[in-house]
Amino acid sequence: MREVSSEDCKRLQLNILINVAKFCDEHNIKYSLAYGTLIGAIRHKGFIPWDDDIDIIMMRNDYDRFVSLYHDSSFQLVDGNHHANHLHVRVADMSTLIVFQHSEIKRKFYNGGVWVDVFPIDNVPQSEKDYRSFMKQVRFLCHLQKCGELSFKTIWKGNLISRILRAFLYLIVKPLVRPIGVLSGKMMLKYNGNHSEKVANVSLWYLKYPSFNSSQMDETIDVEFEDHQFKAIKNYDEFLRGIYGDYMTPPPPEDRIPRHDYIAYWR
pLDDT at 76 over 90: yes
pLDDT tens digits for 20-45? 999 999 999 999 999 999 999 999 99
What would the mean pLDDT of 227-246 be, rounded to a whole number?
97
Find which of 26-35, 78-87, 175-184 is predicted with most confidence, using mean pLDDT. 26-35
CA distance 181 to 79: 12
Residue 216 burial (10 A CB sphere; 0-12, 13-18, 19+): middle
pLDDT tens digits for 198-217? 999 999 999 999 999 999 99
pLDDT tens digits for 102-144? 666 555 546 678 999 999 999 999 999 999 999 999 999 998 9
Q: Give the total residue count for the chain.
A: 267
User: What 3-state DSSP class applies to 116?
Assistant: strand
CA distance 210 to 66: 25
Query: Which residues, at least 6 apart from 97, have a Cβ–Cβ distance to it below 8 Å?
Result: 1, 109, 110, 113, 264, 265, 266, 267
CA distance 6 to 11: 9
* Cβ atoms of residues 109 and 99 within 8 Å: yes
Query: Which residues, at least 6 apart from 70, have a Cβ–Cβ distance to it below 8 Å?
Result: 20, 23, 77, 91
CA distance 198 to 126: 5
Q: How many CA atoms lie within 13 A of 115 on its CB side?
A: 26
Quick one: DSSP state of residue 157?
Answer: -
pLDDT at 259: 77
Q: What band does 150 get if pLDDT is binned at 50, 70 and 90?
A: confident
